[in-house]
């Protein structure tokens, strides 16, 4: 099973800003409004998404300060993944084109090729570096499996809405509408559980 068929991330924004925070909306668009690391949708989280510096600020500070607002070094991330990644870094900051060797750059490596989901939605990998990413970013958390379930349900609803829009048979329309209503009720309940666990401050979610 692959990584939920996530879309290939391509950086399309070409304007330059001196303040990296001004890139948040373009990043959201380029990353399809999903966390680059755990693939969680930003519309199911009440905690605002953040901007991660792929090469952490602590590593390049006073050495290559241009990386602070270099769009190619910025990653759209949920708060938990950004906190887990923190200032973790491995590499040579003094090279012409430094990178963070601890992690696969989501804009360079297709995560579908290195990660997959278990039947329960848990993020897994057989790749040594990717396994270390799961450990460092704590991608094994059950909340990411919940986020995956919610995302799958949203995709199903989108498909149902397309079918409903193209259906002329009244009985089929009623049946599809009922399924959509039940699924929306299900998502609402699961989303409440997810949000409560995502926002909880304890040893399992910190």
Domain that holds residue 36: 20-138
pTM: 0.86
Three-class SS state of 51: strand
**pLDDT (tens digit, 9 = 90+) per residue, 129-170?**
999 999 999 999 989 999 988 888 888 999 999 999 998 889
Is the pLDDT assigned to residue 111 strictly greater than 60?
A: yes
Residues 16-23, mean pLDDT to the nearest whole number = 96
In a domain, 5, yes or no: no
Output the pLDDT for position 14: 94
The reply to whether 50 falls in a domain is: yes
119, 78: one domain:
yes
CA distance 92 to 128: 21
Say if residue 195's pLDDT is above 60: yes
Residue 101 shares a structural domain with residue 191: no
Q: Read off the pLDDT of residues 28-84 as tens digits, 9 standing for 90 and up.
A: 999 999 999 999 999 888 889 999 999 999 999 888 999 999 999 999 999 999 999
Final residue in a domain of this structure, among 112, 138, 164: 138
Please say if the pLDDT value at position 204 is more than 60. no
Same domain for 99 and 161, yes or no, is no
- Domain assignment present for residue 95? The answer is yes
- Listed in sequence order, the DSSP H helices in 61-169 are 79-85, 128-137, 142-166
| Beta strands 50-53; 74-77: pairing state | antiparallel
- Please indicate, yes or no, whether residues 108 and 48 belong to a single structural domain of this protein: yes
How far, in Å, are 87, 117, 128, 146, 148 from residue 120 at the CA level? Answer: 31, 7, 22, 9, 9
Q: Residues 109, 64: one domain? A: yes
- The residue out of 138, 168, 188 marking a domain boundary is 138
On whether both 83 and 131 belong to a single domain, the answer is yes
- Nearest alpha carbon to residue 39 among 147, 135, 161, 199: 147
């Amino acid at each position: 099973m692959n990584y939920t068929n996530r879309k290939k991330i391509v950086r399309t924004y070409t304007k330059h800003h001196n303040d990296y925070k001004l890139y948040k909306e373009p990043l959201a668009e380029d990353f399809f409004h999903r966390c680059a690391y755990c693939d969680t949708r930003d519309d199911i989280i009440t905690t605002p998404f953040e901007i991660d510096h792929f090469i952490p600020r602590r590593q390049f500070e006073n050495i290559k300060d241009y990386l602070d607002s270099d769009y190619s070094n910025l990653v759209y991330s949920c708060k938990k993944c950004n906190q887990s990644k923190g200032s973790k870094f491995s590499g040579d900051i003094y090279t012409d084109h430094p990178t963070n060797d601890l992690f696969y750059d989501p804009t360079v490596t297709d995560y579908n090729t290195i990660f997959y989901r278990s039947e329960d939605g848990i993020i897994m990998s057989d790749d040594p570096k990717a396994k270390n990413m799961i450990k460092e970013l704590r991608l094994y958390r059950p909340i990411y499996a919940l986020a995956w379930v919610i995302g799958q349900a949203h995709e199903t609803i989108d498909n149902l809405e397309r079918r409903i829009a193209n259906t002329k048979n009244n009985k089929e329309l009623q049946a599809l509408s009922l399924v959509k209503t039940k699924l929306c009720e299900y998502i609402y309940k699961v989303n409440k559980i997810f949000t409560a666990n995502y926002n909880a401050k304890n040893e399992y979610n910190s």
